[in-house]
Amino acid sequence: MEERMFRHCVMLRFKNGITEDDKIRAYEGIRALPDHIEEVLSYSVGFNAGSRSDNYDLVVVGDFASETDYETYAGHAKHQEVIADLIAPIIDSRTAVQYVLEDQ
């Protein structure tokens, strides 16, 4: 079966009382992941624009050539380090979806 482009989207909600410095460290750690993981084709990280208070706080969208490349990214040591050291301690909740880009 032919592998197709694969997109990963994750949204994070910070715990109450998390400092701006902690949020920025997490943001910068996430943004740096493509420098360490060659399977990432495109990557976007951004804070909620603030138009709705019930939205998640941070979003990550990554594109990969295949689901196999996404799995390599997900299991990569640097990705796991950023999650353990910078993300997990400061988030209240996480939601994610992965899907095949049908038109690619």
Q: What is the mean pLDDT of the chain?
A: 95
Per the domain annotation, does 38 fall within a domain? Answer: yes
Q: What are the helix (H) ranges across 1-104?
A: 20-31, 67-75, 77-82
CATH for 59: 3.30.70.100
| Cα 82 to chain centroid, rounded | 10
Per the domain annotation, does 20 fall within a domain? Answer: yes
Per the domain annotation, does 33 fall within a domain? Answer: yes
pLDDT at 100: 96
Cβ distance 95 to 8 under 8 Å? no
pTM score, whole prediction? 0.90
pLDDT tens by residue, 48-72: 998 787 899 999 999 999 999 999 9
Per the domain annotation, does 1 fall within a domain? Answer: no
Smallest CA-to-CA distance from 56 within 1, 101, 23, 14 is with 14
- Per the structure, the complete domain to which residue 79 belongs is given by 6-100
Domain tally, the chain: 1
